[in-house]
Structure 1
């Protein structure tokens, strides 16, 4: 898999907006997210190379869905061609997430394309309370779900589970990919 650059300017602007909205200092957000203040300062300046885990930690510290940190400004018509869009990588596995769409502010439903390769399992920390994940496998086979209840799914299979508990994703075949819809209540 090619390693794309994350959408740094977009992340920087969204991070500053959400921190300002929360009314907390750079130092306080860094503390809550378990990050160095210098790392957070670099991200807000549009430099650095944030991983999925770093962005999830910031979302949790701000009490917002991960997608608010990487979503582009709203437009009435939006097309994302295959292979395009704001892709971010994981530090822990050969795993990329691409945000496709978000829902209304009071009922968020964020849509991602997940690309997974065998050999590394991505363990995810619990998301904000009330999060629910919906996955439809498009190609390959994956093992996914809450750590205590992993299931194996293949093309066309749908699985849903609480996203506010520890969970994981693991490709069982090369070139596995799926659509993930994440709800935040």
Structure 2
């Protein structure tokens, strides 16, 4: 059985981009030809175990990560949805919206916006992710080509290393923004 080359190709591109390294640098570190890595990233070829292992070492990732399909780049959780945990001895519940890798850095912001000019953000550093929860008003939020209309209590997560937008659709729109960098 051949390895799922399409998944491996996407994983190699994803991890190399996250590492912020060139094709030539990863190939050099792995001890393989740049053309070999280029073909693998294009989904061509039949890489051997040794080649894949060397690439994982060069990228500083576990071997299994090469076989993980890319997660959906945008996640939306509407108010009242999500994994709910309820306390037994208090009127208290929590809804898990997202987890964070142990090496990530998070900054938390309260956003206040008015309708008018869009807040268009250029791509941040590779691997950056933004989490937004609308607390008041309505907004169009997310990737430029796939923004979502959100209402109070709605949550969205998207890759911030691509151009993205925040457009207030009502006066005095507010949101909580968690910016995550790996």
Which TM-score bucket, shorter chain as reference?
A: 0.3 to 0.5
The TM-score normalised by the length of structure 1 is 0.43
Q: Which has the higher contact order (CA 8 A, sep 6+)?
A: 2
